[in-house]
Amino acid sequence: MQEALAEFTQSLPVWLQWAGVMLAAAIPFIESYFGTLIGIVAGVPLPITLLAAVIGNVASMLAFVFAASATRAKVLARRSGGAEPAEPSPRRARVKRMFDRFGVPGVSLLGQAVLPSQITSGMMVSFGASRNAVIFWQVISIILWAIIFTLIGLGGLALFR
């Protein structure tokens, strides 16, 4: 099956292979790490797979960060009128504890083991973290996770061949 998928994928134009991996990686919970695995299994050339997965994941993460930043600004403007903040959800409370303990670098690098980068990045910005620091550390994290899962994917394919 992997061989048939690889043949089909390689018969497509390179831009379409690139776009497929990029779109998959933009989806929360698939991200750069599973996007690279999808590209590897499908037979997309490794540099294209890695770059497309990172670009797709970073693009969607940026959308979440900018949306969270805009929402935070609106909430803070409204809250200055005296509104009480709502009780956070258990998931949000857990990320906040991680954020308080490990900061932006720690949550960015380790948080993807728990939640997608899009969600953790949006939450960190909503907690008041610097938008630029979140973007910087999330991009580093996305690249590292993509490389790690690329190596895992290549090792897994080598075992089954």
Check residue 66 and give its pLDDT.
97
Per-residue pLDDT tens digits for 66-89? 999 999 999 888 877 655 567 888
Check residue 91 and give its pLDDT.
80
The whole-model pTM stands at 0.85
For residue 50, the enclosing domain spans: 2-160
Q: How many domains does the chain have?
A: 1
Per-residue pLDDT tens digits for 121-147? 999 999 999 999 999 999 999 999 999
Check residue 48 and give its pLDDT.
92
Residue bearing the bigger pLDDT, 14 or 48: 48
Burial 101-124 (b: 16+ CB within 10 A, else e): eeebeebbbebbeebbbbbbbbbb
Q: Has residue 106 got a pLDDT over 90?
A: yes
Q: HEC string of 63-102?
A: HHHHHHHHHHHHHHHHHCCCCCCCCCCHHHHHHHHHHHHH
Residue bearing the bigger pLDDT, 56 or 6: 56
Residue pair 128/18 in contact (Cβ under 8 Å)? The answer is no
* pLDDT, mean over the chain: 88
CA–CA separation, 122 vs 138, rounded Å? 11
Check residue 79 and give its pLDDT.
77
